[in-house]
Amino acid sequence: MPMGAEDDAARAKRMRSRMELLYPICRSITGDGVRQTLDVIGESLRPGLELRRRAVPSGTAAYDWTVNDEWNVRDAWIADPTGRRVVDFQEHNLHLVSYSVPVRARMSMDELRPHLHTLPEHPDWIPYRTTYYQRTWGFCLAQRQLEAMGEGPFDVVVDTTLRPGELTYGELVIPGESAEEVLFTSHVCHPSLANDNLSGIVVALEVARAVAALPWRRFSYRFVFAPGTIGSITWLSRNRPLLDRIRHGLVLTGLGGPGPLVYKRTRRGDRTIDRAATHVVSRRGGEVRDYSPYGYDERQFNAIGFDLPVGRLSRTPHGEFPEYHTSADDLDFVKDGELLDAHAALMRIVEILENDAAYLNLSPHGEPQLGKRGLYPTTGGKSASDAVMAMLWTLGYSDGCATLLDIADRADLDFAQVCSAATDLAGAGLLERASEPPRR
């Protein structure tokens, strides 16, 4: 099946359905919510694909980090003197600060206030807050809720457990002709936040579905669904032998919100994935940014000790849209058209990674006669079409060193046009494949 040939309506329906299943789940860096999320991911795979789940015990060292105790929540609320719940975890899981320790107490507002988090500039939104590595607790609520609470006293209940357990992540491998891999990752530690990062999860699943349907794959493809930071560091610590096989990689996040696509380069900035993603994103009206050591898990993969060729694809990056890490990042905030556009861009990147190569012009002494080979329009005198220009550029630079992506960028043509030209020219005996692109 050609890349992108499946009906977009069916693809959008699948992504929307998965997001609706995943949105209510209370996820964190460990616990039942992560396992439930991996259940949904595993059940979403096409027949023949298997999500392998990995469990790493609490207390396990992962470089400078240690896997935390497992956290689970049964319920949490703040009740006023009449017993009415004025803040209720059952109404929205963002109400509880992630990793809050158990609490049962009666408090005045003065005692309670240091544990309450709001967004005064957005009085109807609930913020998202965490306390992964400090044993404390808290609630998040809308500013309007806070203003209506009164002075108390309040009954405060945080019914959670925090004890030795495990960190869980999932990975899917789709084998190709080569053991060398393309890595896609998406974090699974956020609760009810649709753009950050359910959008990354559902787009990754659709990319996996499309890649698995390709009739031939040069590379193997690995999809990792893990909690942010500690999850990727743990995965890296347990997979050192395979890191040398990772040729290209992308962290996927924030792909369903507003704004154009944004590609963040690797730390080196000149890897093949940088050039492929820049080619695609720029031609789709997106933005390309240099690397910085702040963001999502790309900063772990690009750490000096690993130096992996992993960039990041998103839309408006984290912290640059007001809905970020708030209850306003809901299912309505994510649009099907943006999800489909992100999927299409990723499949164009896959197309480049799979097909880029250097070719050798077998008729290098002047321009070969394309007409007698059926490759040139029968009527001359008009400006050359893009298809003809793609052939001329490909012939003009196929010296056995320049790759198709090199030629496409130099000619300001879409890679698919140059790739098609190379296929036609090779079929006519004018080109032969010289080599794979150099490893960068």
DSSP per residue, 267-324: SSS-SHHHHHHHHHHHHTT-EEE---S-SSTHHHHTSTTT---EEEEESSPTTSSTTT
Q: Both tokens of residue 259? A: 């704004």
Phi/psi region, residue 333 (left: phi>0; alpha: psi -120 to 50; beta: rest), is alpha
Per-residue tens of pLDDT for the chain, all 440 residues: 344 446 899 999 999 999 999 999 999 999 999 999 999 999 999 899 999 999 999 999 999 999 999 999 999 999 999 999 999 999 999 999 999 999 999 999 999 999 999 999 999 999 999 999 999 999 999 999 999 999 989 999 999 999 999 999 999 999 999 999 999 999 999 999 999 989 999 999 999 999 999 999 999 999 999 999 999 999 999 999 999 999 999 999 999 999 999 999 999 999 999 999 999 999 999 999 999 999 999 999 999 999 999 999 999 999 999 999 999 999 999 999 999 999 999 999 999 999 999 999 999 999 898 888 888 765 443 345 788 899 999 999 999 999 999 999 999 999 999 999 999 999 999 999 987 766 66
Q: Both tokens of residue 299? A: 């900063």
Q: Is the domain 71-163 a CATH 3.50.30.90 member?
A: yes
Give me the pLDDT at residue 382, please.
Answer: 39
Of 344, 274, 354, residue with least CA distance to 311: 274
Give me the pLDDT at residue 371, please.
Answer: 85
CA distance 173 to 220: 7
8-68+166-354: CATH topology is Aminopeptidase (3.40.630)
Of 427, 269, 286, residue with least CA distance to 359: 427
Q: Both tokens of residue 327? A: 């209850």
Q: Both tokens of residue 403? A: 């790759």
Name residue 63's amino acid.
Y
Burial-class residue 65 by CB neighbours within 10 Å (0-12, 13-18, 19+).
middle
**φ, ψ of residue 298 in degrees (nearest 5):** -60, -30
357-435: CATH topology is Arc Repressor Mutant, subunit A (1.10.10)
Q: Where are the alpha helices (DSSP H) in 45-164?
A: 109-112, 143-147
CA distance 219 to 211: 10
CA 31 to chain centre: 22
CA distance 287 to 335: 19
Element (H, E) at 170: strand 166-174
- CATH 3.40.630.10 domain residues, the chain: 8-68+166-354
CA 136 to chain centre: 31
Give me the pLDDT at residue 3, please.
Answer: 43
- CATH 3.50.30.90 domain residues, the chain: 71-163
**φ, ψ of residue 273 in degrees (nearest 5):** -65, -35
- CATH 1.10.10.10 domain residues, the chain: 357-435
Yes or no: say if 425 and 394 are a contact pair by the CB < 8 Å rule. Answer: yes
